[in-house]
A and B are shown apart, each in its own frame.
Chain A
Amino acid sequence: MTETTFAASEPPVEVCHLTRRFGATKALDDVSLTVPRGGVLGLIGGNGAGKTTLIKHLLGLYRPQSGTVRVFGLDPIQHPIETLSQIGYMSEDRDLPLWMRVGELLRYCQAFYSRWDMRFAEELRDAFDLGPQARVKTLSRGQRARASLLVALAYRPDLLLLDEPSAGLDPVVRRDILGAIIRTIADEGRTVIFSSHLLDEVERVADRIAIIHRGQIVLTASLDELKETHRRVTLRFDRHFDRPPELTGAISATGEDCEWTYVCSHDREQIRIAATAMGATIVGEDRLTLDEIFVSHIQG
């Protein structure tokens, strides 16, 4: 068998026109996404939006029905060893061999990764308060989540994929440890992709955001860019409208009569010009939280 070398110059993740159906349901619909090296990408979306399906394609657990997936320039299905040895993965359902003891789990996983750092693993084990003699099946859901995170981190992977990492973790671990670990990894020049429902957590940790809705990536941008371009403006018109007048860059609108509030994804100057052209006056303007941006995009 030919050995394929790991291309350091390739982006960690490159997805082109990926489509996946489960029966009549389109789980992913022509998804394209490139994740540059370094930094933290927060993948956010509602239930059934396609986050886990996308992550499983990156791991080679799903075969693309159309489109391509490249991880460090390689097809994860054709090259499982080369890709999986660079990826740390924490699955949504915390699947671990239940019969193993925590100490055994560490030794077992160590065998697969040349860069496994046993000292780091032991530090994490202590921080997560996991006894080496404890059997995985006797661990609580939260402890199992910690064990799962531990084995995903201990070899300092180049790409860390965390599927709903916060589920089951207590607030202390979630805020202090998970956040710190993710930031440390990103600061070391490695890449983290994590999906979450907890948008305040994403906001705290992520550099870039991808919003996925009904199998489509509806938005990818850096967090700063996202906050800069998304704002809520209230316009007052000189006549009544039954429906909100069209405003360039508006994602959603609420209001009545001559006062309408828009969530827009253009910068301030463009909105001002558009409002003036419509004969409206800006009477209110404020920035949006990530939560509000997300809701406006998926309810648009």
Chain B
Amino acid sequence: MRSASLALTWELLASGGWKLLGAVLVANALPILILGALRQEGVLDPQEQAIISMHVVSTMINGLVFGTALAVAAGSVSRLYCYPISSALITAGRMLPAQLLLFAEVAASTLLLNWLFGVNWPILGPALFIVSGLATFQAVAWLTGHSLWSLPAILIVGGLQSVWFVFRYRTQFTGPAHEWLEVRPMEWLTLAVFTAGAYAVALLAIQRDRRGEALRTDTLKAWLESLCERRPALKRGFPSPLAAHFWAEWHQKGVMPLITAIGLCLGLGIWLLFVRQADTLHVWVFKGGWFLPITGFVGALAIGGSGLPNGAIEMGPFLATRPLSNAELGRNLLQVVARNVCGGVILWLGACTVVIVALKLAGADSGKILPVETSNFEWWQIPAIVFGSWWTTSLLTTLLSSGRSRFVVLVIISVSLLPLIPTILGRWMLSEGARPGFRNAIGLLASGVAIVTTIWACRSAWQRRYITGTSLLAAVALATTLTAAGGIVIHQTTGWTSTSQLILTGLAAITILPVPGLPLMIAWNRHR
């Protein structure tokens, strides 16, 4: 390498490799799927409010996914402190190549979507914003290090920047949306200030960290930690190994209720600052439930990891040498997942109830429990949110519990690409009439795979004694009940078909898949 900056760029690309490619696929799979489906249905209108909102959300998801992959590829910045290079070069070497790559990725993704679907989404403004957002994220992350402030600081700064971004598309939260077609001088200036400020903060943070100094917030931190202490029964000990292990697991992995509570507070804060309309609060609190499956996705990253200091998902020797069976470790983790999902759902439903009661007491116009008229939020969405949260959290946790990063990446890429097949084939290879049948066939195939995988997992776990007869019977009974209940609902609403029943059975199967799946994956991780 001719220079340190080139070496840093090469290192980012070399260690990124498949991770970056996988992130591109994951980030683009969802918009391609949705836009493809809308176009097939003939309802894709680029000027529609929902499509503009989708552009805003998909740009942010794209930035989040690819930005995360870049951060993972770059690794810990402290690794570079022993090299004979200045802190300014470390800062620039870590930020600039990542920003250029992110800009190229966001711009290329938008170009691809524009070319595929003719949505004419703007490129320059969103790409510049995402790049500026990455710089701010890196600066805040380095400034707060691994401290207690890291998550709140990132959420607050990220939240404020997101609000600024959203306002490029509308004049108020509830107002009509329009595309951000032109980057005005004031917007250039704002983004430049964001980015330059981020560079300055990042440089100060790296200089401070390089001197071995921590963020000086010890007293406040100690006080907050004393408030957050969750250390019951430590004076008299734990009643059983399982109780001790559950305490330790929950202490590290009980994240979903916390994230949900922060999200609810953030939403309420934004509503109080910018909106203050009763109907909007009603819609937001119910529709906000759709963040729970996303929270589950984020939560599973913590729950499925085995808590090694280097963030690896491979089970560390301390956990692996606890005298607990794989069945017990699996059951414990399943309880942690269930408690996380239940905590998040209860908080969300509680917030919905509080809002409904408050609106009624305040005599607001919105007399109905659900905001059906204002946002089409119907009853079926509540179980969809609950099961969606369970599926994302439990299935990703099960996958991550394998501790095999290549396997995890392979499965995630495969599952992300699977929905693209009908879209791509439907667009270029099938006639209009053949498309619904083909989509059904893909749905049936996916359901079949889910059912066969669950049966195989149950059989393997039973043979290895990772699951008791009672647990197996309970899981099968739950799946049967869900299938039957879903069948009855479908029969009474859209009409029962064998295809819908098989798809329902597939969904019921993946609902119980973590019961046998978790101990199997844990054993695969533990005994290498």
Contacts and interface: CB of A to CB of B under 8 A. Distances in A.
Interface string B240-251: 110111011001
Interface string B323-361: 111110000000000000000000000000000000000
Interface in B216-258: 231, 234, 237-241, 243-245, 247-248, 251-252
Nearest to A80: B325
Given A95-B316, A96-B318, A80 B323 contact: yes
Given A91-B318, A99-B251, A81 B323 contact: yes
A61 B528 contact: yes
Given A81-B325, A111-B240, A93 B465 contact: no
Contacts of A96: 318
Contacts of B238: 107-108, 110-111
B480 to A, nearest CB: 26
Contacts of A110: 237-238, 244
A196 B321 CA distance: 21
B323 A93 contact: no
Interface string B291-318: 0000000000000000111000000111
A63 B307 CA distance: 22
B320 interface: yes
Nearest to B146: A137
Nearest to B326: A80
A85 B323 contact: yes
Contact of B308 (A56, A85, A95): A95
A80 B324 contact: yes
Contacts of A59: 317, 320-321
B322 interface: yes
A268 to B, nearest CB: 45
B190 to A, nearest CB: 39
A84 B244 CA distance: 17
Interface string A91-111: 101011111100110011011
B184 interface: no
Given A104-B234, A110-B237, A97 B323 contact: no
B166 to A, nearest CB: 36
B285 to A, nearest CB: 33
Interface string A35-70: 000000000000000000000100111110000000
A24 interface: no
Nearest to A59: B321
A77 interface: yes
B321 A111 contact: no
Chain B binding surface SS class: loop
B240 A89 contact: no
Contact of A113 (B308, B318, B323, B325): B323
A288 B243 CA distance: 54
Nearest to B320: A61
A70 B375 CA distance: 64
A226 to B, nearest CB: 30
A111 B248 CA distance: 12
B2 interface: no
Contact of A97 (B240, B318, B324, B527): B318
Contacts of A77: 527
B404 interface: no
A279 to B, nearest CB: 56
A6 B237 CA distance: 26
A95 B240 CA distance: 23
A115 to B, nearest CB: 12
A95 B320 CA distance: 10
Nearest to B225: A135
Contacts of A273: none
A57 B321 CA distance: 12
B241 A112 contact: yes
Contacts of A8: none
B526 interface: yes
A103 B527 contact: no
Contact of B528 (A62, A85, A99): A62
A87 B316 CA distance: 17
A1 B465 contact: yes
B375 to A, nearest CB: 41
A98 B322 CA distance: 16
B202 to A, nearest CB: 24
Contacts of A60: 526-527
A186 to B, nearest CB: 21
B173 to A, nearest CB: 38
Contacts of B324: 80-81, 112
Which residue, of A87, A103, A104, A108, has the highest number of chain B Cβ atoms within 10 A?
A108
Contacts of A104: 231, 234
Contact of A98 (B243, B309, B317): B309
Contacts of A63: 527-528
Contact of A111 (B237, B251, B468, B526): B237
Contact of A100 (B243, B248, B316): B248
Contact of A61 (B243, B251, B327, B526): B526
Given A61-B317, A112-B322, A107 B237 contact: yes
Contact of B317 (A89, A111, A112): A89
Nearest to A163: B317
A63 B320 CA distance: 13
29 contacts: A60-B526, A61-B320, A61-B321, A61-B527, A62-B527, A63-B528, A77-B527, A80-B323, A81-B323, A84-B323, A85-B323, A87-B321, A89-B321, A91-B317, A91-B318, A95-B308, A95-B318, A96-B318, A99-B252, A103-B234, A104-B231, A107-B238, A108-B248, A110-B237, A110-B238, A111-B244, A112-B322, A112-B323, A113-B323
Given A1-B465, A60-B527, A99-B252, 17 more contacts: A1-B327, A63-B527, A80-B526, A81-B324, A84-B323, A85-B323, A95-B318, A104-B231, A104-B234, A108-B238, A110-B237, A111-B237, A111-B244, A111-B245, A112-B241, A112-B324, A137-B309
Kindly list the 4 A-B residue pairs having the minimum CB-CB distance in the complex, ordered from nearest.
A111-B244, A84-B323, A85-B323, A91-B317
Interface of B: 231, 234, 237-241, 243-245, 247-248, 251-252, 307-309, 316-318, 320-327, 465, 468, 526-528
